[in-house]
Amino acid sequence: MQYDLTKPNTGRVFDYWLGGTHNFEIDRQFADRIIAQWPLTLVQVKQERGRIKRIVESYYAQGIRAIVDFGCGLPTCENTHIVAHQIDPEIRVVYCDIDPVTAAYGQEILGTEANVAFLQGNAGTPLTTLNAPETLALFGENRLVGFTLLTLAHMLTDEQLLSSWRTLYDWAAPGSRLSATIPSKLWETEPYMNRLVQSYRRANLTSEYRTIPEIEKLISPWKLTPEGIQEVNPTEIPDGDTTKMVNLTYFMTLYKE
């Protein structure tokens, strides 16, 4: 596939931040500029990638052998199928990313690797991914599935999340799970973080930041696991002449009875 090397690609930028090799000079230049201005970005990216292993392990312990990873980025650097197949090569993984370049490059990277597929799709309208021939070929009749939505929920409105998560619930079998990270309101209320949010919005990148009560309204008909909605990703940010530690993200796992 021929790639437009005049524009950075989000999937390749994340690959570079995570120490991967599937990126180009235009991606590295852009990524370095972001880190120079917002060094905590690198911390957040690595924290989220490390979370995948714990999620996959928890799914496996619950008997789940099929995973759909929405907003996945490139299938490199300990992404879902890599950590899953270290546990059990028979785990079936479907990656889904909205970006067509990321999807095409992801498919090229995977080649003919077994028990994994990469689709272009929208987490806001997941039925297309769930009913895709590639998904059905991998999963067969199995609908006991673990869904992951990491670093993604802030890109969807409440209405989109409610619709998406209800679609996943209706499609999945009892025992299925959904894990998500959701950026907190601190992104808007902390001055340092708000400057980054405003830079996103100037670039026409919409973002939604939520409180725990706002998140709780999105959960039903899924059930929240006993761990509840957890504060995660402790990060040191500037605070006047000093710094302070804040938790910028919530994490939760939901299940279908």
> How far from each other are the two terminal CA atoms of the chain, in whole angstroms?
44
d(CA 109, CA 144): 27
Residue 93: closest CA among 47, 148, 172: 148
The yes or no reply on domain 41-255 and CATH 3.40.190.10 is no
Tens of pLDDT along 142-179?
A: 999 999 999 899 989 999 999 999 999 999 999 999 99
Between CA 117 and CA 110 the distance in angstroms is 8
| pLDDT on residue 256 | 98
pLDDT band at 1, cuts 50/70/90?
Answer: low
Closest CA to 7 of 99, 122, 106, 107: 99
CB 97 within 8 A of CB 121: yes
pLDDT digits (tens, 9 = 90+) for 18-68: 999 999 999 999 899 889 888 888 888 888 899 999 999 999 999 999 999
Domain spans in the chain, listed from the N-terminal domain onward: 41-255
Instruction: Give per-residue burial for 99-117: e unless 16+ CB within 10 Å, then b.
Output: eebbbbbbbebbeeeebbb
The model's pLDDT over 60-113, given as tens digits with 9 standing for 90+, comes to 999 999 999 999 999 999 999 999 999 999 999 999 999 998 999 999 999 999
Neighbouring-strand partners of residue 93: 67, 116
